[in-house]
Amino acid sequence: MAPLPPLPPPMSVLLFLKLALVPSLIALVTLAGRRWGASLAGWLSAFPVVSAPILFFVSLEQGPQFAAQAATATVSAVLCILAFGLPYAWVATRHAWPLASLAGFACYFMAVALLALWSPGLPLAAAAAALALLLAPRLYPQAPPLTAAAVRPASRADIPLRMIASALLVLLVTHFSARMGPQLSGLFAMFPVMASVLAMFSHHYQGAGFAVLMLRGMVLGYWSFAAFCSVLALALPRAGIPLAFAAALATAVGVLGLTRLFALRRARSG
């Protein structure tokens, strides 16, 4: 009987998962946005489908304590992702996607640099993320009207191009983040791969109003992301890897459902 082939190293599995998960989710969120609107698409895209496998393999390779530190940094990275979305939305109300993307990424990297120097602990990181998520919806600009004139007909290559762009960004981030410590690894676990690709393509094809509504919808979904990373940072040193990830994912799904109920009630009352 021939020996079984060796299992691929964790980083190879991680890269495969990221290259499979992120472009697939990009395609699904794009279709959801066309069917149910920008706000729902943004809410769906914020689930920790990228950072969860990153932190899982970090915990396997570096141990639960290292991964707990990375998860704490990822909680504070909510501030970085908002630092991308807010400038993008404001610039998008007046300019096309290239300038809006430049503003968003410039502010994102500035936020990463500041948080790398600050390195807050979990209580302070969670408090800062919660405060930012409470304030952020009020800071977004009024979305420009969704008019037919702002919409360009999407080509057949639209979704494949989105998937290719997200895969290239994943490869770029993975290449550099592999050389970083827990703080920067945690911060770059929330690199705005999905936010940037979805915002740029939506801005180009469906107009600035759609992009702004999608970015604002992501804010509601980031509560689920912050809850996932907070529970993971608390549970990893105490409960071990399987139980910690199970608890964190269950919490993320619960919070995602609660935020959706909140959005529906607010829409009905408004």
Quick check: is 23 in a domain?
yes
Instruction: Note whether residue 214 is domain-resident.
Output: yes
Amino acid at 77: A
The parts of the chain modelled with pLDDT lower than 50 are: 1, 4-8
Domain, as residue range, for 50: 18-27+36-141+155-269
Per residue, what are the HEC states of 34-64? HHHCHHHHHHHHCCCCCHHHHHHHHHHHHCH
Q: Has residue 11 been placed in a domain?
A: no
Determine the pLDDT at residue 178: 53
CA torsion sign for 220, 30, 75, 91 is negative
Terminal CA-CA length for the chain? 68
Does 149 map to a domain? no
For residue 97, being part of any structural domain is answered with yes
Other C-beta atoms closer than 10 Å to the C-beta of 35 total: 9
Q: What is the pLDDT of residue 8?
A: 47
CB of 86 within 8 A of CB of 136? yes
Phi first, then psi: give them for residue 104, nearest 5 degrees.
-65, -45
Instruction: State how far the Cα of 118 lies from the Cα of 121, in Å rounded to an integer.
Output: 9
Sign of the Cα torsion 254, 259, 260, 265 reads positive
The reply to whether 58 falls in a domain is yes
Q: And the tokens for 35? A: 């069917």
The answer to whether residues 108 and 83 touch, using CB atoms and an 8 Å cutoff, is yes
Give a yes or no: residue 258 inside a domain. yes
pLDDT of 96: 93
Assess contact for 215 and 192: CB atoms under 8 A.
no
Q: Which residue has the tokens 């998937």?
A: 163
Other Cβ atoms within 10 Å of 205 Cβ, number = 20
Number of structural domains in the chain: 1
Structure confidence at residue 1 (pLDDT): 47
- Nearest 5°: the CA angle 33, 86, 112 is 110
Residue 150 included in any domain: no
Across 256-266, b (16+ Cβ under 10 Å) vs e yields beebbeebeee
